[in-house]
Amino acid sequence: MKYAIYLLLAICAMVTACTVEKTDYDAEIATDTTEYFDFEEVTTIKKGDYKVTIEALNGTLYKGYNEIHIIIVHAQTDEQIKNADLAFLPILTDANGNKSSCPHEYSLSYDAINGYYQGYSVFTNASSTTSSWDLYIDFAIGNDLNKLVESVTVEEQVNKNLNMTAFTGQDNNQYFIALVAPQSPDVAKNDLVAGIYKFIQPNQPAGDFPDPSQYTYAIVDDHSLLLDPRMPEPSMGNHSSPYNENLTQGNDGLYHGVVNYTMTGNWTLNFIFQDVNGKTIKGTEVPIDFTPGIEGKKSELYIDILF
């Protein structure tokens, strides 16, 4: 009898050990995405009596949208400098020595609760051997104006869910759309957040470099971004998902919408970008038919993601 029970237990153990392992779902959805929550130091620059610390998620600047925190402290007393006039300007120098910038917040305001100056920068290129990024930071404490320049490295964006695109609209303006969230999507309803910016053409000749008036970018207000997510892979036959919501601007200046991902893998976010009056600036409708074996056609305006 005992023997039989042992035998049964042994069979139990043998059979419950499945031949195919169940998928570890948390690991599965984190394969191609890393989620960063903590702001860490990118660099600290000493300038006169002050130390300026630049922080970003994971302590790294990536191509695409970066929220930037700047902390200024007095080098001797370690006292935080609040409410200084802080100007922030990223400048890209290419192989030919041409200078350009990218969407950014020029005047950073002080966040008293968290104790830092908050801004953002949407780097349009990663640093390479031929192109480099410098941050021009000016801060005035009373009448004491400090200017500093710091070279920084912008890493390639490995998380496709934070991809960006730059394009010229039908109104001949230069626009930028950068994904902000979700960093690590789920097979679920995801809140999709993007920043939309445009370059403001300077209307006066350049002054001394760096002349901020030559590098002005603005958040695009009250436009809308129509969304049609699809899986472009031929085997997926232009598969899409239900109940997505177009992106509209929120109080934080960013655009918020909803994207449903029905499974992991490659997805294309097809967009149609429209102005306040519903006039299309960029983007085309994509076919909605289910066409197995044929690669899904993309809108003129799209961002590929992967998770």
Partner 1 sequence: MRFLTLILLVFGPWVQAQNTPVTSDSLDVVLDEVLIVAAKKAKIETDMKMAVSVDEFLASSDNISFVKRGAYAWEPLLNNMSTERSTITIDGMHVFGACTDKMDPVTAYVESNNLSDIDIKSGQEGSLNGATVAGSIDLKRKSTAFGRAKTWDGAYQTGFEFNNKQFFNLGNMSYSSDKLVVDASMSHRKADDYSDGNNDEVDHSQFTKFNTSLGLAYKTSDLSSLRVDAIFDQANDVGYPALPMDLSLSRALITSVAFKQFFEKGLVKVWDSKVYFNAVEHYMDDTTRPENLVHMDMPGWSTTYGLISKVNLKGENYTAEIQLNAYDNLSIAEMRMYPQDRSERTMFAYSWPWVTTRYAGLSMSNAWDISNRSQLNFGGSLGVNYNYSKYIEFNRIFHPEASQEKTRFLPNVYASYQWDNQGFNFSIGTGYGHRAPSVSEGYGYYIYNSFDRYDYIGDPDLENEISYEVNASAGFTHKKGGIKAQVNYFYIQNYIIGRILSAGSPMNYQSVGVKGYTSLDYATLFNFSLNANYSILQNVHWKGTLTYARGLDDNQNNLPFIRPLSYQTGLHYSYRKFGIQAALNGDLMQVNYSPEYGEDETPSYTNLNVSADYSFYINNYKTVVQIGAENVFNTYYSTYADWGNIPRMGRNFFTSLKINL
Considering only residues 277 through 306, tell me which ones interact with partner 1, judged by CB under 8 A: 288, 290, 292-293, 306
The binder of partner 1 chosen from 45, 126, 166, 187 (CB under 8 A): 187
Q: Does 6 help bind partner 1 (rule: CB under 8 A)? A: no
Q: How far is the CB of 234 from partner 1 (least distance, A)?
A: 6
Q: Does 118 help bind partner 1 (rule: CB under 8 A)? A: no
Considering only residues 220 through 259, tell me which ones interact with partner 1, judged by CB under 8 A: 231, 233-243
The binder of partner 1 chosen from 263, 276, 279, 285 (CB under 8 A): 263
The binder of partner 1 chosen from 260, 268, 270, 299 (CB under 8 A): 260
Contacts of the segment 283-292: beta carbons below 8 A, 24+ positions apart: 283/226, 285/228, 286/228, 286/230, 286/238, 287/238, 288/228, 288/238, 288/240, 289/238, 290/237, 290/238, 290/239, 291/237, 291/238, 292/234, 292/235, 292/236, 292/237
Distance (Å, rounded) from C-alpha 128 to C-alpha 88? 22
Q: How far is the CB of 232 from partner 1 (least distance, A)?
A: 10
Q: Which amino acid is at 153?
A: T
Binding span for partner 1 by CB under 8 A among 76-84, 92-100, 118-126, 184-192 = 184-192
Q: How far is the CB of 29 from partner 1 (least distance, A)?
A: 8
Q: How far is the CB of 297 from partner 1 (least distance, A)?
A: 14
Considering only residues 10 through 69, tell me which ones interact with partner 1, judged by CB under 8 A: 11-12, 15-16, 18-20, 22-23, 25, 28, 31-32
Distance (Å, rounded) from C-alpha 291 to C-alpha 298? 13
8 or 276, CB closer to partner 1? Answer: 8
The dihedrals phi and psi of 45, each to the nearest 5 degrees, come to -115, 135
Of 182, 187, 258, 163, the C-alpha closest to 29 is: 187
216 or 241, CB closer to partner 1? Answer: 241
**Residues binding partner 1: what is the number (CB under 8 A)?**
44
Q: Does 8 help bind partner 1 (rule: CB under 8 A)? A: yes
The binder of partner 1 chosen from 171, 186, 191, 285 (CB under 8 A): 186
Q: How far is the CB of 130 from partner 1 (least distance, A)?
A: 30
Binding span for partner 1 by CB under 8 A among 39-47, 94-102, 186-194, 199-207 = 186-194
Task: Write out the residues near partner 1 by the rule CB under 8 A.
Answer: 1, 4-5, 8, 11-12, 15-16, 18-20, 22-23, 25, 28, 31-32, 186-189, 231, 233-243, 260, 262-266, 288, 290, 292-293, 306
